[in-house]
Amino acid sequence: MSELFSKLGIDWRLLIANTITFFIVLWVLRKFAFGPIMDVLEKRQKTVGDGLSAAKRSSEELAAIQKDKVEILKAAKTEALAIVHEAKKQGETVKAKLAEDAQAEAMATLERTKKLLERERETMVNKAKVELADIIVAASEKVVAVALDAKTKSAMTKEAVAALKEVQS
């Protein structure tokens, strides 16, 4: 074998020394360079993975918050519409009540006015009857040309009023 190495131009002692040096350099690099570099790479990879997980969680939370926001807005809108509807309903009820009260008040006023007018009419009719009776008595006195006493005047007035009542009925 030594012959083969010498024909190839390889010194076997140098080859063994280089091989031992290679393994020593490999061990030193692994111990002091590759190990810490691999640790840094693993930490970096873990940090990036954690960051991606956090970003994914944040994205999911944001989506959930957006969904909740939409639901809350829908609920608020529905509640607002219900409140407006209820207010309109109450307004209509109050409006109807006020119209009903106004109608009742108008009817009561009309009724009072009718009663007042009826009393006025009765008063006027009674006054007219008395005046008519006085006119009839005065006319009767002129026709009879005799002055009647108070008792006879009263009796004639009563007869005239009775006759007017019959005519009116």
- What is the pLDDT confidence band of residue 59, given thresholds at 50, 70 and 90? very high
- Cα(10)–Cα(15) distance, rounded to whole angstroms? 7
Instruction: Find the DSSP H helices in 12-34.
Output: 12-29
Taking 60 as the threshold, does the pLDDT of residue 162 lie above it? yes
Average pLDDT, the chain: 87
Is 47's pLDDT higher than 90?
yes
The pLDDT value given to residue 133: 76
pLDDT per residue over 70-92, tens digit each?
999 999 999 999 999 999 999 99
Give the confidence band of 34 by pLDDT, cuts at 50, 70, 90: confident
What integer pLDDT is reported at residue 144 of this predicted model?
Answer: 64
Share of the chain above pLDDT 70, in %: 91
What is the token pair recorded at 156? 């004639």
66 to each of 53, 59, 69, 139, how far by Cα in Å? 20, 10, 5, 106
| Residues near 22 by beta carbon (within 8 Å), at least 6 away in sequence | none
Least confident of 7-11, 20-24, 25-29, 91-95: 7-11
Question: Comparing 33-42, 77-86, 115-124, which segment has the lowest mean pLDDT?
Answer: 33-42
Beta strands in the chain (DSSP E): none
**Distance between alpha carbon 44 and the CA centroid of its chain, in Å?**
56
Sign of CA dihedral 125, 131, 133, 136: negative
Q: Looking at residue 66, what is its pLDDT?
A: 94
Q: Looking at the whole model, is its pTM more than 0.75?
A: no
**Do residues 43 and 53 lie in contact, with contact meaning Cβ atoms separated by under 8 Å?**
no
More confident residue, 30 or 167: 30
